[in-house]
Structure 1
Amino acid sequence: MQLINITSQPLKYEIHTEAARLEMNVPKNPQGTVKRTPSQMRIRTKDIEVRLDTTEMRASLNLRSIASWKQVWAQQGQQAAYEVIGENVQTGNQMQRIDDGVTIGQIVRQKMLQAADCTTYTTYIPSEGTEISWDPAQININYDPGSVQTEWQIAQNVMNYIPGKFQMEILQYPKVTIEYLGEPTYFPPSAAPGYVEE
């Protein structure tokens, strides 16, 4: 006869899993900005300069300015004064030699002959030419080739990592039930309720 009944209850559970995933946002194509500076050419020119100086030519034609005539007259006056002084000194020296047989008439005659002496010469007018000076023309060229600048706007990839999940849910805990099917055994037997002596 079976006196013990053993009943077992197994463990019940559910497992839920979610795989890990990687989310990535891919940006649009990169964008570029181009800045261009155009080329430039600058040209600077300076014309030829010619200078004509006719001062000496006009002076040879006696076409002088008032200031130039003042200088000429001053020089001529100074030279005439020196010549008169020289002649007077020479005449005085000759008169000192009267004792050598030189008479005053001879001295006056010699002076008159010197004054009558004419010298003829040929000249061309104008005797001076025009003085010409000049500065050559100039040209300066400055060239700027320009430039091109490119700026790129490159967006970065945005990545988002979502880790996986593991979930375990216990639906039923394990259990062991032991049930005694027999009756209790008393010792001494007289302790049992309903004991009847034999």
Structure 2
Amino acid sequence: MATAANETALPPIVDPRSLRTARLLRSGALLLTGLGIAFTAPLHEQLEFDRWAIFVGLLIIGCVTLVEYRVLRFTLESWWIAARAIIAFAAVGALLAVSDSVGIALVVAAWAALTAVVTILRLVRGAQPKQVAIPSALLSVALAVISLLVMGDAVALIGFFGAYAVIRGVFLGISAFDGGAAAHTAPVAASPEIDPSTESES
């Protein structure tokens, strides 16, 4: 009976195909955001366009992050994915309250910095492989620092934001096909429940 109860308590195994699809969706959203910014370069002189371009980009990023959360919602890693989505949506809301280049830069810097913090915490906890987490954290930290350095130049800010989105999208797309990165999630979810079961059987 105890064994049956333990088996019932085990979280479902994450479907690698669903996880890959979710991460490819995030990769596509980042690439779409970056390329959209690149192809609208003539409009970057308009501050309002820059604000709305970043607004839409962060909104899309937040939405596709929720898709990944749905795939991982029964694992220990899901909280970190949800935190990333919340940070993105908070930045979206903050952009509605700012109207100058300095305010936009501060929002982008805060979003990038908090995203880096979440990534580093996941790396420390072993919830994300180094080959995925380290480039992601470095890119986010770089964007946060650069945003503060160019906060008076909206054209430069949106350019760096677009470049960040493209590079992150490429790295994420590559990691989506990395079997080790996908498999890395399963032990994090299963280990707390498997240990008691193993001990009771022994």
Question: TM class, shorter-chain normalised?
Answer: under 0.3
Please say which structure displays the higher CA radius of gyration: 1
Structure with greater strand share of residues = 1
Q: Flag the structure with higher helix content.
A: 2
| TM-score, length of structure 1 as denominator length | 0.22
Higher relative contact order (CA 8 A, sep 6+): 1
> TM-score, normalised on structure 2?
0.22
